[in-house]
């Protein structure tokens, strides 16, 4: 299972937590749920770069109704309080009157999703909800998050693969792996596994 998945020091980065097949099956289920909820509404799927892009691409293919796709980019404030983020790249599409669905890779503290929801709600969308591949509700710092759809509830671990990267590595791995600091001591920066751990923005 770990064949070929080695860090620079030759140690495995971690075991497979979710296989590609398990993820694909759940994404297809989410596509059916969303199609039922948004039929006739042509939702706009909005994803923060970069780690949500793989999930967004698969979810878009699994959604058998007309819909739009757009991206934005966030970054933590340098020296700011934990969870403080700023908008680096805005959407190209107007959300006025649109049914907006925020697509997240991980919802953790809820701070990033809360920021996105507050920012987009000021632009008069017809509705606003969110879907995440991975959720850790026990780590919430804010309750006001419009999270309507969840792929998997996961433990408090570091993950790599399926779009999630560590120092821009491992994003292309098809499975989702658990990574421990003992196996792969690494500094998390920017978009890498957005959480409120040191060196990363809060998800």
Short-list 23, 91, 175, CA closest to 31: 23
What is the set of active-site residues?
108
Short-list 15, 12, 7, CA closest to 175: 15
Q: Which long-range contacts (CB under 8 A, 24 or more apart) does 188-192 make?
A: 190/75, 190/76, 191/48, 191/49, 191/50, 191/51, 191/74, 191/75, 191/165, 192/51, 192/165, 192/166, 192/167, 192/168
Sign of CA dihedral 194, 102, 137, 51: negative
Which are the contacts of 183, defined by CB distance < 8 A and separation ≥ 6?
7, 11, 12, 13, 14
């Amino acid at each position: 299972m770990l064949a070929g998945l080695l860090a620079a020091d030759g140690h495995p980065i971690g075991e497979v937590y979710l296989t590609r097949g398990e993820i694909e099956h759940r994404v297809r289920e989410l596509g059916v749920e969303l199609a039922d909820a948004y039929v006739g509404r042509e939702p706009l799927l909005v994803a923060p770069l970069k780690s949500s892009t793989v999930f967004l691409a698969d979810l878009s293919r699994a959604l058998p109704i007309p819909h739009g796709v757009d991206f934005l980019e966030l970054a933590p404030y340098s020296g700011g309080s934990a969870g403080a983020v700023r908008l680096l790249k805005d959407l190209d599409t107007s959300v006025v009157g649109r049914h907006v669905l925020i697509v997240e890779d991980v919802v953790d503290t809820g701070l990033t999703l809360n920021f996105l929801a507050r920012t987009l709600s000021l632009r008069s969308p017809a509705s606003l909800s969110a879907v995440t591949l991975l959720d850790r509700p026990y780590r919430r710092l804010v309750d006001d998050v419009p999270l309507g759809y969840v792929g998997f509830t996961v433990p408090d671990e570091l993950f790599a693969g399926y779009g999630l990267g560590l120092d821009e590595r491992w994003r292309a791995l098809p499975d989702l792996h658990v990574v421990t600091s003992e196996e792969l001591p690494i500094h998390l920066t920017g978009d890498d596994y957005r959480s409120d751990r040191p060196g990363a923005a809060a998800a």
